[in-house]
Chain A
Amino acid sequence: MVTGALNVRNLQEATPQLRQIEDAGDTQLDMSQLEALDTAGAYMLQKLRLKVEARGAEFQFVNLKPDHEALIERVALAMPRPDPVSTSRLSVTDLLERLGRGVAGAGMFLVELIAMLGLFLARLAYLLRHPSEFRMTALVHHCDQVGWKAVPIVALMGFLIGVVLAFQGSVQLRQFGAEIFVVDLIAISILRELGILLTAIIVAGRTASSFTAAIGSMKMREEIDAMRTLAIDPATALFVPRILALLITLPILGAIANVMGLFGGAMMAWIELGISPGMFMTRLLEDTSLDHVIVGFVKAPVFAMIIGVIGCHAGMQVGGNAESLGAQTSAAVVRAIFMVIVADALFSVFFAIMGI
């Protein structure tokens, strides 16, 4: 005898009652008092019937209302039939295979990046020979996006780095009475390393993600395929203006960061150590070799190339759904920053060996 309602809301309470029936022999379940039934209740009843019948006993619903019967039949037809699952455990060979795939994947990624760089250079060379096809408007637009709009944050970052260096340096150098060397400290570290490196990192965060998002959403909505069918080369139209804009603006942004860094350092040196701006200037011009500036600026185009190529490449990796767009965008930023730092380390080793 089942009474009242049997639905998803009171299933848990009804379970013990149904359990008792499970173990009985031949069963006739009186359904005349059942008022409401939903698919969850019908599922429980059908499961009960299957269990009883599996033991070879008879099972029948009596006085079942027609609509309830229809529902139980519908559920009976749809009873989930689990596919046999293969329970495999993770073995050492699986782990090795995974490692191998990871390494091969990283190798492929590098090859793809080099291919993207090659594509960019080839299209750039083509455009040099056919300047009429060059998209000047796009270049200016991207210079504005990548360069001009990044000026405030890069300037502020440079200024603060100068301030921090001067402050930290002054505390240490004062112990030796070598306060004046704070100028060398600031000048060398900013001009040679930090100015360009930190600018590149900020630009990687801002620009690699926006390249990936812009190109990726075009890829997602098949705009890139549409361009191809209209005989527009995506590399010429999308990659060249973006990467070129980075190549032009990153050194300028680096220069701004350098100047602001020196300015911040000079200000802090004046406040903290009493080194007047005039003295700072003289010391800077006399003692700091131009090599440091050159070493810094040589890196800028390389960083720009890395950021642009990684951003465009990640955009082209976006698949048909929004998740892959998000995943590629964050991956592009991480990869770009990582590669910029790796490149910077390689430069340091190179310059050390060359003795510059």
Chain B
Amino acid sequence: MVRDVVIALRELRNQFGATVVHDNLDLDVYRGEVLGVVGGSGTGKSVLLRCIAGLRPPQGGRIEIFGKDALNCSEAERRAIDQRMGVMFQDGALFSSLTVRENVEVPMRTLQGLDAGMRRELADLKISMSGLPYAAGDKYPSELSGGMRKRAGLARALALDPEIVFLDEPTAGLDPIGASAFDELIRALSETLGLTVFLVTHDLDTLHATCDRIAVLAEKRVLYTGTMADMLTIEHPWVHEYFHGPRARAAVETQERTG
């Protein structure tokens, strides 16, 4: 089966001053998959996410999204691409002066012909689908807990039913129960909405519970991609340490217990 590639990165290069973060980085993301990106601190996981999301132009290479060259396209084309993608930032990055519902409505305002009543109803739906109680819609971000802010951030990222969602450390800072609930939410949404999910994480439990495929960032490029089972067989010292360390073993055991 030939799988539909939605994001293709070729020979990507990123550097800050003299520090090269990515060099000759290639990566394909397929439609409908949940791709987990892992790597040690400072390997540029978030930089990669920001590059694809269009927040940071890379120093070299190509980025193709939905088959279009995302770096050399007109502003209108870029906007069209952006409307088909949603980003959830680490702490939600909600607009602090707006309520949660207004935050979710923000992307909908860019669409013509969606009246205020419909916007409100759809925002309430997204809030509820992200697992927040109805009353959360009227609250301001500062009144929510970290986990609820992440869910609200996800609701805003999903506002326009994007095809690709980028999640930056979705479970960082959540308690284990909240984190596994968030994992389930990501899994359920990606299945029912047919979402492609690009998620950056350090959380081995999230990798086990949600990801179809894992990409390992090391030595300035994507060193390996494959399923969790593939990762366990890789001999590279860092990858081996990552997936066989004490925390990894605990995560595997949890996964086996819960099935």
Contact = CB atoms under 8 A, between A and B. Distances in A.
B232 to A, nearest CB: 31
Contacts of B135: 83
A347 B193 CA distance: 71
A71 B193 contact: yes
A79 interface: yes
Contacts of B102: none
B51 interface: no
Contacts of B192: 67, 70-71, 73-74
Given A74-B192, A80-B121, A323-B142, A39 B115 contact: no
A80 B128 contact: yes
Interface in B72-130: 96-97, 108, 111, 113-115, 118, 121-122, 124-129
A9 B111 contact: yes
Given A9-B111, A13-B113, A74-B188, A80 B127 contact: yes
Nearest to B96: A323
B127 to A, nearest CB: 7
Chain B interface SS verdict (over half): helix
A222 to B, nearest CB: 15
A322 B96 CA distance: 9
Given A71-B192, A80-B128, A8 B96 contact: no
Contacts of A39: 122, 125-126, 129, 158, 161, 193
Nearest to A321: B142
Contacts of B97: 323
Interface in A309-354: 321-323
A209 B213 CA distance: 51
A75 interface: yes
A43 B194 contact: no
A329 to B, nearest CB: 15
B120 to A, nearest CB: 10
A38 interface: yes
Contact of A74 (B113, B118, B129): B129
Contacts of A74: 129, 188, 192-193
A38 B161 contact: yes
B125 A79 contact: yes
A83 B188 contact: no
A7 B216 CA distance: 36
Given A8-B114, A11-B114, A323-B142, A81 B134 contact: yes
Chain A interface SS verdict (over half): helix
Contacts of A71: 192-193
B160 interface: yes
Given A71-B193, A323-B142, A82 B134 contact: yes
Nearest to A70: B192
Contact of A67 (B124, B134, B188, B194): B194
Interface residues of A, number: 25
B134 A83 contact: yes
A82 to B, nearest CB: 6
A219 B114 CA distance: 44
A12 interface: yes
A223 B239 CA distance: 36
A195 to B, nearest CB: 41
Contacts of A11: 113-114, 118
A323 B128 CA distance: 27
Interface in A37-56: 38-40, 43
B86 to A, nearest CB: 12
Contacts of B158: 39
Interface string B54-86: 000000000000000000000000000000000
A7 B161 contact: yes
A295 B194 CA distance: 78
Interface string A27-39: 0000000000011
Interface in B137-189: 142, 158, 160-161, 188
A39 B160 CA distance: 9
A80 B111 contact: no
A339 B192 CA distance: 61
A78 interface: yes
B41 to A, nearest CB: 20
Contacts of B115: 12
Contacts of A12: 113-115, 118
A9 B97 CA distance: 27
Contacts of A7: 161
Contact of A8 (B122, B124, B128, B193): B122
B190 to A, nearest CB: 11
A43 B114 contact: no
A80 B118 contact: no
Given A8-B161, A12-B113, A321-B96, A43 B134 contact: no
A323 B121 CA distance: 29
13 contacts: A7-B161, A8-B111, A12-B113, A67-B192, A70-B191, A71-B192, A73-B192, A74-B188, A78-B125, A79-B125, A83-B134, A321-B96, A322-B96
Given A39-B193, A74-B188, A83-B134, 5 more contacts: A8-B111, A43-B122, A67-B194, A75-B129, A80-B124
Closest 8 CB pairs between A and B? A80-B124, A38-B161, A12-B113, A78-B129, A74-B192, A78-B128, A80-B128, A321-B142
